[in-house]
Each structure stands twice: as C-alpha cells, then as structure tokens.
C-alpha cells in the first residue's frame, strides 16, 4: 500500500492480496483522518463479501471468491476510539458485465485498487440506533 495526503484528499493505492479494510485503515490512521468521504474506488477484488440489510441485526451476506472488477466504491470513514470505522458500499462486475452490489464487508485486492477519500473536519461517530439496530452515523 502507498498513499499521498494533500491535507484535504487522501489517495491510496492497494496492491495484490492486500486486505482492503486493513490497508485502508492503516492509511487513514497514518494520515490523521478524522472523518472522510470515499468519493472513488476502482480496481479489482477477490474474496469479496457483500451484505444486504434485512432487519434489526439480520443481514443476507454473500461471498464472491472469484476476481471481480471494482466498478464503484463509496461510503464514509470515521476515526473513532483510536480505530477507523468504515461504512462502504461497492458495485462489483463479473467478466460477463453482470454486476452485484451491496454493503462491502470484506475484500482482498486482486491486481490493484485506487481509492480517493475526501477528508473533512465534520465531527461524527457511529453508534447503535435503537430503532434499526444499525451502527448509524451521528454528528457530535
């Protein structure tokens, strides 16, 4: 993994077999990110896991072991309690151009990933929403 930080934008390049979440977490921590908006993510993933929210504390999760094109990655990133908390959604495409999409819960880089995060100073955190059971975005 390598990254560059302009102060307002964090650009990250991930390499073959890196865990997307672990490597992106490392770049965010090293850059001092407080709150970020993932504005772009492209490349390829393998061993991806996409989830779909059904109801409180219940998700339908599907594993995609094969290499898939990372067509789009969006979401947000928050520094919280000394760690980084992600909420990412992805659109993945098969060679046939069929797409699958959802909440990205796992992913290993296949070939490369290029991710851009817009850094902000908006104070926010994730905490459980009693109505939905989701770890929801709350502003401080």
Residues of the domain holding 41: 2-139
How many domains in the chain? 1
What is the dihedral angle through the alpha carbons of 30, 22, 88, 101, rounded to the nearest 10 degrees?
150
Per residue in 100-135, pLDDT (tens digit) is 999 999 999 999 999 999 999 999 999 998 888 888
SS3 per residue for 88-105: EEEEEECCCCCEEEEEEE
Task: Judge whether residue 25 has pLDDT over 90.
Answer: yes
CATH number, residue 15? 3.30.1330.80
The C-alpha atoms of residue 118 and residue 66 are separated, in whole angstroms, by 30
Per residue in 53-99, pLDDT (tens digit) is 887 777 899 999 999 999 999 999 999 999 999 999 999 999 999 99
- The pLDDT value given to residue 111: 97
């Amino acid at each position: 993994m390598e990254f560059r930080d302009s102060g307002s934008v964090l650009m990250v390049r991930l390499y073959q077999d890196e865990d997307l979440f672990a490597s992106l977490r490392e770049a965010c921590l090293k850059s001092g990110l407080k709150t970020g908006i993932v504005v772009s993510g492209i490349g390829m993933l393998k061993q991806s896991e996409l989830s779909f929210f059904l109801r409180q504390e219940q998700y339908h999760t599907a594993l995609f072991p094969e290499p898939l094109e990372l067509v789009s990655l969006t979401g947000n990133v928050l520094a919280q309690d000394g760690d980084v908390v992600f909420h990412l959604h992805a659109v993945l495409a098969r060679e046939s151009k069929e797409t699958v999409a959802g909440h990205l819960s796992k992913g290993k880089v296949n070939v490369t990933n290029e991710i851009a995060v817009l850094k902000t100073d908006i104070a926010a955190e994730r905490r459980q929403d009693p109505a939905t059971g989701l770890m929801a975005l709350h502003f401080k």
